[in-house]
Amino acid sequence: MSANGAKPKFAMYWAASCGGCEIAVLNIHEKILDVDANFDVVFWPVAMDAKYKDVEAMPDGSITLCLFNGGIRNDENEAMAHLLRRKSKILVAFGSCACEGCIPGLANLSSPQSIFDTYYETVSTDNPQHIRPQFVYAAPEGEIHIPEFYPVLKTLDQVVQVDYYMPGCPPESHQIAAVVDLVIKALHGEAELPPLGSVIGVGNSTVCDECPRQRNVKAIKQFTRIQDLQAPDPTLCLLEQGIPCNGLATRSGCGALCPQAGAQCIGCYGPADGVIDFGARLMTAFASVIDSKDPAEIERILDGLVDPAGQFYRFSLPGSLLRAAKPAWSRNGKSDEG
């Protein structure tokens, strides 16, 4: 607590994200009153009115805790990441997007041109005049700019230094509440913050460890999408039933909610401790449990995984070793609108 009795300052910002993280924060229920009691909320676009220039006017390092969610898709996102880094003592990469890129990061499989083509020209879009965004427009009143779209989405720590990581899509509310509690205790000198660079609000193991389903020897002859299965066994390990479940490589902390509800883990809590590349670890695991030594049969079994990159990197492509597919970054793919 500062000497003059003012409360420590709190900020939350969204870059390329869906807004689910903000809802998860509000979902901590009455704990939000503790946030209000202990912090002065100075910047939180989804919950209050404040302008970027208000943040610019704050002294550097004056925000005690900033939860930053969303990936870095354009130069506005990047500018805000730098600004909030400068103004914040503790910058948390909050949610899967800021940690690893998440669903918006899957756009790193495509060229910017094809992203815009899909967005503006497919059947679900009514755009008879073929209108496309102009990044610079000369209006009578002067030149207008909209944020520059980057060819490759970046994670927060690829742009600025991040103090803590809090994964999840979105982070579970009880984990957020626990982290808020910890920060409040630390502010009162009753607890110590974890070492910088830690992943917080998570478990130390994998989703499989939290999953109550029964596990035996895995020997897979066929991969099946869960919607194609007539009657999945409600108590048996999903992977043993041939359903591609990502729980083996995914960090625990969610309480294995999806497998308990009958759906496979899709990996939103990101890589478990010690995993460098989430997708590579999953490829290792999936290939190990395929029960065949015949290349032709293996290929047939692998046909059951219709979209390997989407399966293995659904939440982690920008944070992976390769970060983006060649069409996204190569000059041929990097078309300037024609």
Question: Binding residues for other proteins, per CB under 8 A?
Answer: 81, 109, 152, 154, 156-163, 165, 196-197, 276-277, 279-281, 283-284, 286-288, 290, 292-293, 295, 298-299, 302, 305, 307-309, 312, 320-323, 325-327, 329-330
| Cβ–Cβ under 8 Å, residues 165 and 198 | yes
Least separation in angstroms between residue 126's CB and other proteins is: 30
SS3 214: strand
Buried b (16+ CB within 10 A) or exposed e, 272-307: beebebbbbbbbebbeeebeeeeeeeeeebeebeee
Residue by residue, DSSP assigns 217-253 as ---BS----GGG-SS--SSB-TGGGT---GGGTBBS-
Residue 2, token pair as written in the block? 């500062």
Least separation in angstroms between residue 31's CB and other proteins is: 27
Residue by residue, DSSP assigns 262-286 as T-----TT-BPTT-S-HHHHHHHHH
Least separation in angstroms between residue 66's CB and other proteins is: 15
Nearer to other proteins among residue 20 and residue 168 (C-beta) = 168
Least separation in angstroms between residue 321's CB and other proteins is: 4
Nearer to other proteins among residue 64 and residue 108 (C-beta) = 108
Nearer to other proteins among residue 36 and residue 291 (C-beta) = 291
Nearer to other proteins among residue 20 and residue 271 (C-beta) = 271
Nearer to other proteins among residue 14 and residue 223 (C-beta) = 223
Least separation in angstroms between residue 109's CB and other proteins is: 7
| Cβ–Cβ under 8 Å, residues 152 and 328 | yes
